């Protein structure tokens, strides 16, 4: 934090010195060409303007106008290289310089403040959107968990078969809640400003392999396959997050594809990037949703239908954030023969 402040000060000083010396240099060159000094104040005004606009606060602009005044007086107006306080426009020029600098600094400060307020408002909106979507997403399975659990405990006549079916529903809903929770945690970790991703050189086959084990455990009835290059492919990434992306995408394929029976993970190298794709043979993605599928307004994904649980919004915008944080891109399309394909790239360097 301290060193950050220090670098800002250095930057401000460099801008000030740079603008002033450029102005002096231009005045000096022009002086030798055109033999007049009427342009001097304008050029220094420009330097002050630039300084005031690009530095923080009022101080650099103000200093710059004082120095400009002295430089203009001393070096670039007759008599050259002599301070002459007696020439007529002196106080007026100085006041103009100072006024310009203060006004521009003020304008910039106001603009920065306004930008910050807007950004904060945007973040706040995102947060409240997320919160209301989360509370909606949580409420549905919680309602069923509470409902089933009370049916089990409140001595209603149920067959053993029904009882175990209810217990299974409770387990499913709880697991689904856990998945949403994990996604939300990762999402807030990523969107918390400085994205903390821990990039290491990982072998693609290991990430795919572990993702396969996890997703197969969850959906034993679906066939999951992998298609990756024979040679070793090392890609810098946060292995856990990319695994989470793969598992999320495969999970979506099964839970939103309705009749999905096969999902395959494919990886290829193209133009210095690793291209991952997750393909399924399900119903495909609604064409209306495709254009801004990842733009993550979790609100527009509300299906109250329990089989189409509305985690799609959070899950996909999380995947997109993770890929973006790695410097990659993500897109989705429907396959000509039916089914969907979601692709993302990760730079290999």
Partner 1 sequence: MEKKEKILIVEDDKRIRNYIETVLKAAGYDVLISKSGSDAMGLVTSHCPELVLLDLGLPDIDGLEVLKSIREWSHMPIVVVSARTDEGEKVSALDLGADDYITKPFGTSELLARIRTAIRHTRSSNPEMFRSGKFVTGELTIDYEKRRVYVAGRDVGLTQNEYKLVSLLGKYAGRVLTYDFIIKEIWGPNMNTDNRILRVNMANIRRKIEKKPAEPQYIYTEVGVGYRMEDGESVSDDQD
Stretch that binds partner 1, among 84-92, 108-116, 226-234, 293-301 (CB under 8 A): 226-234
Q: Are 265 and 208 in contact (CB under 8 A)?
A: yes
C-beta of 206: minimal distance to partner 1 in Å? 4
Residue 41's SS3 state is helix
- DSSP E strands in the chain: the ranges are 200-203, 223-227, 234-237, 262-270, 273-280, 330-334, 340-347
Q: Any contact of residue 185 with partner 1 (CB under 8 A)?
A: yes
Residues 154-183, interacting with partner 1 (CB under 8 A): 174, 178, 182
**Gap between the Cα atoms of 220 and 280, Å rounded:** 15
Q: Any contact of residue 63 with partner 1 (CB under 8 A)?
A: no
Nearer to partner 1, 18 or 347 (CB): 347
Stretch that binds partner 1, among 30-38, 46-54, 207-215, 336-344 (CB under 8 A): 207-215
Stretch that binds partner 1, among 57-65, 137-145, 198-206, 323-331 (CB under 8 A): 198-206
**Gap between the Cα atoms of 169 and 166, Å rounded:** 5
Stretch that binds partner 1, among 48-56, 135-143, 194-202, 302-310 (CB under 8 A): 194-202
C-beta of 189: minimal distance to partner 1 in Å? 9
C-beta of 141: minimal distance to partner 1 in Å? 14
Q: Any contact of residue 201 with partner 1 (CB under 8 A)?
A: yes
C-beta of 340: minimal distance to partner 1 in Å? 22
Residues 227-286, interacting with partner 1 (CB under 8 A): 228, 232, 234, 239-240, 243, 265
Q: Any contact of residue 226 with partner 1 (CB under 8 A)?
A: yes
Nearer to partner 1, 10 or 234 (CB): 234
Q: Residue 201's closest CA among 168, 173, 236?
A: 236
Q: Which long-range contacts (CB under 8 A, 24 or more apart) does 288-291 make?
A: 290/332, 290/333, 290/334
Nearer to partner 1, 16 or 244 (CB): 244
Nearer to partner 1, 182 or 283 (CB): 182
The answer to whether the bond into 216 is cis (omega within 30° of 0) is: no
Stretch that binds partner 1, among 55-63, 75-83, 87-95, 209-217 (CB under 8 A): 209-217
C-beta of 228: minimal distance to partner 1 in Å? 5
Q: Are 217 and 258 in contact (CB under 8 A)?
A: no
Pick from 27, 52, 145, 207 the residue near partner 1 by CB under 8 A: 207
What crossing angle do the helices spanning 204-218 and 239-256 adopt, rounded to 10°? Answer: 40
Instruction: Return the half-sphere exposure (C-beta side, CA atoms, 13 A cut-off) of residue 204.
Output: 24
Q: Are 84 and 35 in contact (CB under 8 A)?
A: no
First-to-last C-alpha distance (Å) of the chain: 29
What is the DSSP pairing of strand 262-270 with strand 234-237?
Answer: unpaired
Q: Where does this chain bind partner 1 (CB under 8 A)?
A: 174, 178, 182, 185, 200-203, 205-210, 212-213, 226, 228, 232, 234, 239-240, 243, 265
């Amino acid at each position: 934090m301290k060193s950050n402040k220090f670098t800002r000060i250095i930057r401000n000083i460099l801008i000030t010195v740079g603008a002033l010396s450029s102005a002096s240099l231009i005045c000096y060159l022009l002086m030798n060409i055109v033999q007049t000094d009427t342009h001097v104040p304008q050029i220094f005004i420009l330097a002050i303007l630039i300084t005031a606009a690009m530095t923080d606060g009022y101080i650099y602009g103000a200093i710059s106008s004082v120095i400009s005044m002295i430089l203009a007086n001393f070096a670039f107006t007759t008599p050259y290289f002599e301070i002459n306080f007696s020439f007529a426009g002196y106080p007026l020029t100085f006041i103009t310089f100072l006024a310009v600098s203060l006004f521009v600094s003020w304008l910039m400060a106001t603009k920065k403040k306004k930008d910050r307020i807007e950004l904060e408002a945007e973040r706040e909106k995102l947060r409240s959107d997320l919160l209301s979507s989360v509370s909606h997403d949580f409420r549905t399975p919680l309602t069923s968990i509470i409902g089933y659990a009370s049916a089990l405990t409140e001595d209603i006549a149920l067959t053993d078969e029904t009882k175990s079916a209810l217990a299974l529903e409770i387990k499913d809903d709880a697991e689904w809640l856990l998945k949403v929770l994990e996604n939300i945690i990762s999402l807030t970790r990523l969107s918390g400003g400085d994205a903390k991703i821990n990039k290491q050189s990982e072998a693609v086959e290991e990430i795919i392999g572990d993702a396969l084990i996890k997703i197969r455990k969850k959906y034993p009835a679906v066939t999951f396959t992998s298609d990756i290059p024979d040679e070793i492919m090392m890609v810098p990434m946060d292995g856990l997050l990319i695994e989470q992306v793969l598992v999320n995408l495969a999970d979506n394929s099964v839970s939103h594809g309705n009749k999905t029976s096969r999902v395959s993970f494919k990886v290829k190298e193209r133009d210095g990037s690793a291209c991952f794709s997750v393909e399924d043979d399900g119903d495909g993605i609604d064409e209306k949703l495709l254009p801004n599928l990842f733009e993550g307004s979790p609100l527009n994904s509300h299906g109250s239908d329990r089989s189409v649980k509305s985690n799609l919004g959070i899950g996909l915008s999380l995947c997109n954030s993770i890929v973006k944080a790695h410097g990659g891109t993500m897109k989705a399309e429907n396959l000509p023969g039916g089914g969907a394909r979601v692709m993302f790239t990760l730079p290999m360097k």
